[in-house]
Structure 1
Amino acid sequence: MVSLRCKMVVKEELKKLGLHYVNVDLGTIEILEDITDLQREQLRESLMKYGLELLDDHRKIIIEKIKSVIIEMIHYSDELPKVNYSDYISEKLGYDYTYLANTFSEVKGITIQQFIIMNKIERIKELLLYDELNLTEISYLLHYSSVSHLSNQFKKITGLTPSYYKKLKKKRFKNLEDL
């Protein structure tokens, strides 16, 4: 999801360039008029000052949208969708999943499923550090079939068991507090 601050920055930069927009959302801008090469370059430079990137390549835009949907789904939703991830992503973006999956793999060199797993592991790490949920609750929250499935996937990606990871992080925090 595009943050409110990012939207405001983009809208302000468009206004400075005299460009009228219909919509600024999830990595896309709909501009009413044709944009000149000079305006495009000025917009690109202005956005870079804020750490934002202007993407012209349709494939790169699709990839960023896929990544945004997955990150929003895993990191910022209270509950993961009940449907398959492929159906959810396809429905959310309005494209056939096979097209999305092939484009993502060609450009990123990994599958959408691998990207989802990497993000789920990052989310598990966060949840372990917050120490508000146990592994069973985390497993349920992130739609793992079992705690052992979560633990196996976590270990395969990180090389550590979830409980060992949690102990390691707590020990590091304690050592920092003792300084």
Structure 2
Amino acid sequence: MILHIKNMVCDRCKMVVKSELEQLGLQLLSVDLGKVEIKNTINENKKNEISKVLIALGFELIDDKKSRIIEKIKTLLRDLIQNKNADLNQNLSAYIADHLNHDYSKLSNLFSEVEGISIEKYYINLKIEKAKELVMYDELSLSEIADLLNYSSVAHLSNQFKKVTGFTPTHFKQIKEAKRIQIDKI
């Protein structure tokens, strides 16, 4: 049986969910971002128990098909930003369509309808939050950050950064009290 779980965005999330579900006595076959496969089927009472535990940790069981597809898109994009962005060698729409085996226009319409924002804008917001994080760490140059996040140039990164935050990356670095948004809150 497969459980779809909202807000799983990193390896720590996978560890927490795995630990909690094992404490509930479930035998897990696999734990991935947004999805856990358990050995046996569960009844409604057990599902409610799982749901309560997950909600207390900031996660949520997803039951309807639309929500699962939206969460798959978000998980794919978060993973892309966190782990693979520099390796993106095709346009975003083709990448999403290929990985989710759905027509991109249908995915895009569904995402916009449910989330009130386009996939592209959501992706840009994720990239800018990652850029903020990297700027705050002060370990990489803007050129390295632009390369890491698959921007064509520092100017492109700076323009998008300013459009989203209202600050240039350099000014943002200078006013370190500017608050970041957690990626899973976007």
- The TM tier, using the shorter chain, reads 0.7 to 0.9
Aligned to 1:156: 163
Which stretch shows the higher mean deviation, 84-93 or 155-164? 84-93
- Relative to structure 1, the CA distance from residue 141 to residue 114 in structure 2 (aligned partners, 3 Å threshold; closer, same or farther) is same
For 1:160 and 1:56, locate their aligned partners in 2 and report how far apart those are by CA, in whole Å: 40
Q: Note the 1:70-149 alignment, pairs <5 A.
A: 70-77=77-84, 79-149=86-156
For 1:49 and 1:9, locate their aligned partners in 2 and report how far apart those are by CA, in whole Å: 14
Q: CA RMSD in A?
A: 2.5
Number of residue-to-residue matches in the alignment: 168
> Does the residue aligned with 2:134 lie in a helix, a strand or coil?
helix
Aligned to 2:22: 12
> Does the residue aligned with 1:15 lie in a helix, a strand or coil?
coil
Shift, 1:98, TM fit: 1.8
For 2:82 and 2:38, locate their aligned partners in 1 and report how far apart those are by CA, in whole Å: 30
Q: Which has the higher helix share?
A: 1
> Does the residue aligned with 1:54 lie in a helix, a strand or coil?
strand
For 1:59 and 1:31, locate their aligned partners in 2 and report how far apart those are by CA, in whole Å: 22
Aligned to 1:176: none
1:67 matched to 2:77? The reply is: no
User: What letter matches 2:113 in structure 1?
Assistant: E
Aligned to 1:54: 61
The answer to whether the 8 Å contact 1:2/1:27 transfers is no
Shift, 1:82, TM fit: 1.3
Instruction: Name the TM-score, length of structure 2 as normaliser.
Output: 0.76
Aligned to 1:44: 51
Task: Provide the identity percentage.
Answer: 43
Shift, 1:116, TM fit: 0.6
The answer to whether the 8 Å contact 1:105/1:111 transfers is yes
- Structure 1 residues without counterparts, runs of 5 or longer: 174-179
Aligned to 2:183: none
Shift, 1:14, TM fit: 6.0
The answer to whether the 8 Å contact 2:88/2:150 transfers is no
Instruction: Name the TM-score, length of structure 1 as normaliser.
Output: 0.79
Q: Note the 1:25-36 alignment, pairs <5 A.
A: 25-30=32-37, 34-36=41-43
The answer to whether the 8 Å contact 2:158/2:168 transfers is yes
Which stretch shows the higher mean deviation, 55-64 or 74-83? 74-83
Once the two structures are superposed, what CA deviation does each residue of 1:143-175 show, in whole Å capped at 9, x if it has no partner?
222222211111111111111111122xx59xx
Q: Which has the higher strand share?
A: 2
Q: Higher relative CO (CA 8 A, sep ≥ 6), structure 1 or 2?
A: 2
> Does the residue aligned with 2:68 lie in a helix, a strand or coil?
helix
